[in-house]
Amino acid sequence: MNQRKALITGITGQDGAYLTKLLLDKGYQVTGLLARRSSDTLWRLRWIGVLDKIDLIDGDLADVTSLMRALEKSQPNEVYNLGAQSFVGSSWDQPLLTAQVTALGALHLLEAARIVDRSIRIYQASTSEMFGLIQEDRQSEATPFHPRSPYGVSKLFAHWSTINYRESFGMHASSGILFNHESPLRGIEFVTRKVTDGVARIKQGKATELRLGNIDSTRDWGFAGDYVDAMWRMLQQDEPDDYVVATGRTTTIRDMCKIAFEYVGLEADKHIVIDPKFFRPAEVEVLLGNPAKAKAKLGWEAETSLEDLIHMMMDADMERVGREA
């Protein structure tokens, strides 16, 4: 049997690193699309131990010709589109860039695959931020969307483009509507990692306070290592479809902070400072996913609790901060 091949956009991100490890463990040949936009983009792949086991191709979601060349060179059976400007806060400051990369980038990839090889199976990374101003207490695949940020709007364009190419051209294109998922590889700009890094600094005497915005908004947080397995399962199905991927449990940022502080023997209330500059122009107050379809059709469910996830992240950040001069 021929070795299966996968191309991953956004391979240098959190999900890209965990998905790469998963696919390599399953015997895939993995190629990553490398958009050179910052200095050291490879640290996650190095941290997880896969950098020397993959091929990297220069390319950018904003450049459809580079995507076509990447598909022709890597000849993948599966493509996972994880590339995006994915920080919600930054999308307010860079709405056009977010639209060009996150929205049009997905369309570029779909069009490139349509031209090069329609048999390629495509995974599109959708997001719970598309629900935004929620229309139902628990959000499922049937819940109406109402995005509340340029990021959410861009992801919704990409999501519907995926459905459109599936229905128009018979392509095996699926979307995973992933709720918040975290890990030790999460970027420092995201609130969970900001919290665990901040708590580690306070514990080790390198800081005294943790400045946050709205800590009463609630999220459905899971472990990225669990969620990439759902991505892979979607592309193994006979028919493409869209799936909510979530834990089904919601927690406030305030309570998430308490888990982190208590893990190292500190009291959250003594160190958290509410800073208005971290509030968003339009807030998404509550997100709670209903993953029943993913469980029924994919046989997938989250395995890592929020407590175990935060403890895992705290251990990694305590070690990182401890190594700093």
The residues annotated with a catalytic role in the active site are: 127, 129, 151
Strands 173-178 and 78-81: unpaired
Q: How far apart are CA 148 and CA 239, in angstroms?
A: 31
Q: Which residue, 185, 187, 163, 139, is CA-closest to 285?
A: 139
* Residue 242 phi, psi (nearest 5): -115, 140
Q: How far apart are CA 316 and CA 308, in angstroms?
A: 12
Q: Which residue, 195, 197, 257, 186, is CA-closest to 227?
A: 186
The two three-digit tokens of residue 2, written as one number: 């021929």
Q: For the purposes of burial, counting CB atoms within 10 Å of the CB of 135, is it exposed (0-12), middle (13-18) or buried (19 or more)?
A: exposed
E strands, the chain, in order = 5-9, 29-34, 55-58, 78-81, 121-127, 173-178, 181-182, 210-212, 218-219, 222-223, 242-245, 251-252, 272-274
